[in-house]
């Protein structure tokens, strides 16, 4: 076991996300969370590195003290995902750090739970051109876990396989773009504060994923690889 494979609770994790209109970075170090976030479309490439520098500075550590980098793997903007990928590569390569990709939808579902609890959560992003990115989650041991598969489809074709007899919290821009989605069940309630993924919600998911051996070497991080791991791969180039 290397020094990097330390107790999960003491891991120092850096997270960054640029997959949607929101741009964010977060760090957990010494049990404290530091985060930066801004809604800044088309400015992600200029914003993300200063955000990373800021959270490292707030924690009074350097990149070499980080054990794991978590990155937003999508779904979201094709350009945003590429920015997140390239920034993660640049940060991880120099220090030979392991990386772990976290779903944008799972990050949003986790943020809903972190802010207001709930056991069933749907996260959905407006994918433009009459489609949505859709993910259904069940919370287990405080973590949002995917039920079924993430997908991209017409709002008229979204599946609802959660227990409709129980409360379902929903979040994301798809519910603004297609309000009829709120009528899929009488037990649906909108978590209005969560529109986009925020890196600070990635931290717990990253630790859990690391404990399950889901992190990879940075050499295995590539846009094609990331796109092939989710069902929205049929949409290259979509913003």
Question: Can you tell me the mean pLDDT for 58-69?
Answer: 97
pLDDT above 70: residue 64: yes
Dihedral of CA atoms 35, 27, 75, 40 in degrees, nearest 10, equals: 30
C-alpha gyration radius of the chain? 17
> Whole-angstrom Cα distance, residue 105 to residue 177?
16
pLDDT at 7: 79
Please state at what angle helix 202-211 crosses helix 104-116, rounded to 10 degrees: 110
Q: Which of 90, 87, 89, 16 has the alpha carbon at shortest distance from 55?
A: 16
pLDDT above 60: residue 189: yes
Q: How much of the chain exceeds pLDDT 70, in percent? A: 90
> Whole-angstrom Cα distance, residue 63 to residue 40?
24
Question: Can you tell me the mean pLDDT for 77-97?
Answer: 92
Question: Can you tell me the mean pLDDT for 189-210?
Answer: 97
- Helix locations, the chain, DSSP H: 44-59, 78-95, 104-116, 174-177, 202-211, 223-228
Cis upstream peptide for 17 (omega within 30°): no
Paired tokens of 7 = 């107790």
pLDDT at 78: 85
Q: Which residue has the tokens 């991080």?
A: 221
Question: Can you tell me the mean pLDDT for 52-79?
Answer: 95
Question: Can you tell me the mean pLDDT for 89-99?
Answer: 93
pLDDT above 60: residue 56: yes
pLDDT above 50: residue 229: no
Weakest-pLDDT range from 42-51, 64-73, 161-170, 202-211: 42-51
pLDDT at 225: 28
Q: Which of 110, 91, 88, 90 has the alpha carbon at shortest distance from 203?
A: 110
What Å distances lie between residue 58 and 80, 94, 198, CA to CA? 25, 21, 18
Task: Report the predicted TM-score, pTM, of the whole model to 2 decimal places.
Answer: 0.90
Average pLDDT of every residue of the chain: 89
pLDDT at 6: 54
The domains located in the chain, with CATH, are 8-104+197-234 (3.30.420.40), 105-190 (3.30.420.40)
Q: Which of 115, 127, 104 has the alpha carbon at shortest distance from 189?
A: 115
Q: Which of 194, 228, 200, 208 has the alpha carbon at shortest distance from 122?
A: 194
pLDDT above 50: residue 239: no
Q: Who's near 158: CB < 8 A, 6+ residues apart? A: 124, 132, 134, 181, 184
Question: Can you tell me the mean pLDDT for 162-180?
Answer: 97
CB 174 within 8 A of CB 129: no
Q: Which of 99, 46, 114, 45 has the alpha carbon at shortest distance from 77?
A: 45
């Amino acid at each position: 076991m290397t020094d990097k494979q330390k107790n999960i609770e003491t891991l120092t994790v850096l997270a960054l996300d640029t997959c949607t209109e929101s741009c964010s970075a977060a760090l957990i170090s010494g049990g404290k969370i530091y985060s930066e976030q801004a809604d800044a479309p088309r400015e992600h490439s200029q914003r993300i590195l200063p955000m990373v520098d800021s959270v490292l500075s707030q924690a009074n550590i350097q990149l070499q003290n980080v054990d794991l980098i978590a990155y937003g793997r999508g779904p979201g903007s094709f350009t945003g995902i590429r920015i997140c990928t390239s920034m993660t590569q640049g940060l991880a390569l120099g220090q030979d750090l392991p990386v772990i990709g976290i779903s944008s939808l799972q990050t949003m579902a986790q943020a809903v739970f972190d802010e207001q609890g709930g056991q069933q959560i749907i996260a959905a992003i407006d994918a433009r051109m009459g489609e949505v990115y859709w993910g259904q989650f069940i919370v287990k041991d405080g973590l949002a876990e995917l039920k079924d598969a993430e997908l991209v489809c017409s709002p008229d074709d979204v599946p609802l396989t959660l227990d409709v007899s129980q409360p379902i919290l929903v979040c994301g821009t798809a519910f603004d773009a297609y309000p009829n989605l709120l009528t899929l069940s009488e037990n649906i309630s909108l978590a209005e504060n969560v529109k986009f993924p925020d890196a600070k919600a990635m931290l717990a998911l990253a630790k859990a994923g690391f404990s399950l051996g889901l992190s990879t070497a940075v050499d295995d991080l590539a846009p094609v690889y990331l796109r092939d791991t989710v069902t929205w791969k049929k949409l290259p180039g979509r913003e």
